Chain A
Amino acid sequence: MTDVSLLAPQAEVKGRSLWADARRRFLGNTAAVVGLVVLIAITLLSFGQPYLGLRDPADINWDMISAPPDFAQGYYFGTDQNGRDLFVRTLQGGQVSLTVGFIATMVSLVIGTLWGASAGYLGGRVDAVMMRIVDILYSIPFVFLVILLTVVFGRNIELMYLAIGAVSWLDMARIVRGQTVSIRRKEFIEAAHASGVSNWRIITRHIIPNCLGPVVVYMTLTVPAVILTESFISYLGMGVQEPDSSWGTLISEGVKAMEVAPWAVLYPSLVMVVTLLALNFVGDGLRDALDPKDR
């Protein structure tokens, strides 16, 4: 009938999955690919900082206090008011900021997806109770919560991961629930039911894989939001402490010395802005690649 069958009656044809389609579209999007490359570069530099043979971030050079960038001596971003290399400190700050972004996003992904999918799939009373809990958590002022936590437990970085993660899954849960409710009505779910497939398998095999598109997109939006939140908290002085740094603390310190050493606020901000932009480009690219309307 078709020539495929004549050429290779036995050979199995490889399918083109929706993910493969999306990957092809994503790779065709220049802005998104550039964003991804930039993101990978910044991540590698930040986490590779201890192994790159750079100065120790705690090293103090008494000859160069608040010095402007000096390429000859390898101070690419200049130094801060304690004579420490700002380039290295920015990379080190990136470790904290990116880790916070990653961990909080993962927490929100796991809790949010399971919570939202369960509420949406089970429906009825269970759904109502689960989503009211989300509403209640929403109504707690976030900064107030962080202040309270730092007052009770003292300042530490793990606590901040926890606080940010605990808040950022709420949006994810709502998104996944909405997706689940619409997917639950699809006929392939009914077909699975009619075949006697168990609820757990329906959630894991049928519902979650079909929610993943918007979830992945939302994840790329959560990471910058979390990084900004961390920076904000650190800027307020409740987050990371010396001698550790994050982009937030660096900017906060830089602002104090802005008039004498503008580079101290300029460069960390620049790195952060570039990272956030890259993340947004990647997010946009993913959204376009995964959008079923494009089909």
Chain B
Amino acid sequence: MTTPVLQVSDLTTTFWTPEGDVHAVSDVSFHIDRGETLGIVGESGSGKSQIFMSVMGLLARNGRASGSVRVTGEEILGVPLNRLNQVRGARMSMIFQDPMTSLNPYLTVRRQMTEVLMTHRGMNESAAAKAAIDMLDRVQIPEAGRRIGMYPHEFSGGMRQRVMIAMALLCGPELLIADEPTTALDVTVQAQILDLLMQLKRDTGMAIALITHDLGVIAGLADRVMVMYGGRVVEEASARDTFKRPQHPYTEGLLKSMPRLDEHGVKRLETIGGQPPNLQDLPGGCTFHPRCRYAVARCAVERPLLRQTDTGRAKACHLDHLGDVA
């Protein structure tokens, strides 16, 4: 068996606030294999982004992560910054919802891209520029040779996202972390970016962690899906199982509450009642029980552990089958 590209064990991320500690991520363990695409789904406050901010060492100053994060077997949580810098950007890189957060508005794209190659790869200026143009070509930016001299704000939203993807791919990372990469884009442009990611996944064989709140985005791209709620993993399964046979009431509720374009006839949308959890005041027992239609007395007192239910799938729920108690 090969070592996974990313192995996260017992990751807990805590933020210190004047109102008390907030556990954004609690005891999360998972792995991503080589060439695999893992979809991470959850609502706001589910901790889905903070997992990867912890992995990348990008937590806000009041945040602390504990546990273990291994990139191709090497522990990177808590290592000195210069060691971490050799890993991030080179072996794993991250793209964000808003490309402007990771592009410097005062530097040309050329300057920003060549800088990465010159520091990480030790290339000279002209070789770096050539590699950068190749990469822009690869993410299908027309006239890359001319456009590389432009500033980030001169690109449209979709093109900017492509530039950011190109920058993330410069050093040939084994893992690309994409945090809501299409959320800010129009739907036709989103389709273009999703197509691009699919193509890159096929061509490069790199692993992708795709973080999103939109189940539709994951359906086409992910091999496996991890569903987050209140800072914990509630379900983990292959994409097909997640969408066709969800085992956790939250996953089931999410799928049912989405209006679908391919469905005919108007029926009332099924809903998940209540409000998303407040991380500062999480309910006891199962975090989801106040909103769960299957909840039984046990759910309020005992927190279900993530347990294996089948080969390659797991859930954190006391029930064995949904529909046991209706």
What's the Cα separation between A1 and B275 when bound, in Å?
11
Which size class do B's interface residues fall under? under 10
What's the Cα separation between A25 and B17 when bound, in Å?
13
Nearest-CB distance from A193 to chain B (Å)? 28
Interface string of A1-34 (1 = CB under 8 A from B): 1100000000000000000000001001000000
What's the Cα separation between A1 and B274 when bound, in Å?
8
Count of A interface residues, CB-CB < 8 Å: 4
Residues of B within 8 A of A1 (CB): 273-274
Interface string of A225-236 (1 = CB under 8 A from B): 000000000000
Residues of B within 8 A of A25 (CB): 18
Interface string of B272-297 (1 = CB under 8 A from A): 01100000000000000010000000
B249-302 interface with A by 8 A CB criterion:
273-274, 290
Residues of A within 8 A of B274 (CB): 1
What's the Cα separation between A28 and B19 when bound, in Å?
12
Question: Closest residue to B275 on the A side, CB-wise?
Answer: A2
Question: Closest residue to B274 on the A side, CB-wise?
Answer: A1
What's the Cα separation between A25 and B19 when bound, in Å?
11
Nearest-CB distance from B282 to chain A (Å)? 14
Question: Closest residue to A294 on the B side, CB-wise?
Answer: B18
Residues of A within 8 A of B273 (CB): 1
What's the Cα separation between A1 and B292 when bound, in Å?
12
What's the Cα separation between A1 and B291 when bound, in Å?
9
Question: Closest residue to A1 on the B side, CB-wise?
Answer: B274
What's the Cα separation between A85 and B299 when bound, in Å?
77
Nearest-CB distance from A259 to chain B (Å)? 52
Residues of B within 8 A of A28 (CB): 18
Nearest-CB distance from A5 to chain B (Å)? 12
Nearest-CB distance from B323 to chain A (Å)? 23
Residues of B within 8 A of A2 (CB): 290
What's the Cα separation between A25 and B274 when bound, in Å?
30
Nearest-CB distance from B321 to chain A (Å)? 26
Residues of A within 8 A of B18 (CB): 25, 28
What's the Cα separation between A18 and B199 when bound, in Å?
50
Interface string of B6-39 (1 = CB under 8 A from A): 0000000000001000000000000000000000
What's the Cα separation between A2 and B275 when bound, in Å?
10
What's the Cα separation between A1 and B290 when bound, in Å?
8
Nearest-CB distance from B190 to chain A (Å)? 25
What's the Cα separation between A2 and B283 when bound, in Å?
11
Interface string of A25-48 (1 = CB under 8 A from B): 100100000000000000000000
What's the Cα separation between A137 and B274 when bound, in Å?
57
What's the Cα separation between A25 and B18 when bound, in Å?
10
What's the Cα separation between A85 and B18 when bound, in Å?
49
What's the Cα separation between A28 and B273 when bound, in Å?
37
Interface string of B129-147 (1 = CB under 8 A from A): 0000000000000000000
What's the Cα separation between A2 and B281 when bound, in Å?
13
Nearest-CB distance from B35 to chain A (Å)? 42
B64-113 interface with A by 8 A CB criterion:
none
A133-164 interface with B by 8 A CB criterion:
none
Residues of A within 8 A of B290 (CB): 2
What's the Cα separation between A123 and B95 when bound, in Å?
40
Nearest-CB distance from B104 to chain A (Å)? 23
Nearest-CB distance from B65 to chain A (Å)? 23
Nearest-CB distance from B291 to chain A (Å)? 10
What's the Cα separation between A2 and B274 when bound, in Å?
9
Nearest-CB distance from A153 to chain B (Å)? 53
Interface string of B168-188 (1 = CB under 8 A from A): 000000000000000000000
What's the Cα separation between A28 and B290 when bound, in Å?
34
Nearest-CB distance from B258 to chain A (Å)? 23
Nearest-CB distance from B281 to chain A (Å)? 11
Nearest-CB distance from B135 to chain A (Å)? 37
Nearest-CB distance from B301 to chain A (Å)? 15
Nearest-CB distance from A102 to chain B (Å)? 33
Nearest-CB distance from A108 to chain B (Å)? 33
Nearest-CB distance from A278 to chain B (Å)? 24
Nearest-CB distance from B278 to chain A (Å)? 11
What's the Cα separation between A241 and B94 when bound, in Å?
70
What's the Cα separation between A212 and B290 when bound, in Å?
39
Question: Closest residue to A3 on the B side, CB-wise?
Answer: B290
What's the Cα separation between A32 and B143 when bound, in Å?
58
What's the Cα separation between A1 and B289 when bound, in Å?
12
Question: Closest residue to A25 on the B side, CB-wise?
Answer: B18
Nearest-CB distance from B62 to chain A (Å)? 12
- Give the 5 A-B CB pairs with smallest separation, nearest first: A1-B274, A1-B273, A28-B18, A2-B290, A25-B18
Question: Would you give 5 A-B contacts (Cβ < 8 Å), ordered by A?
Answer: A1-B273, A1-B274, A2-B290, A25-B18, A28-B18
**Residues in B lying within 8 Å of A, measured CB to CB:** 18, 273-274, 290
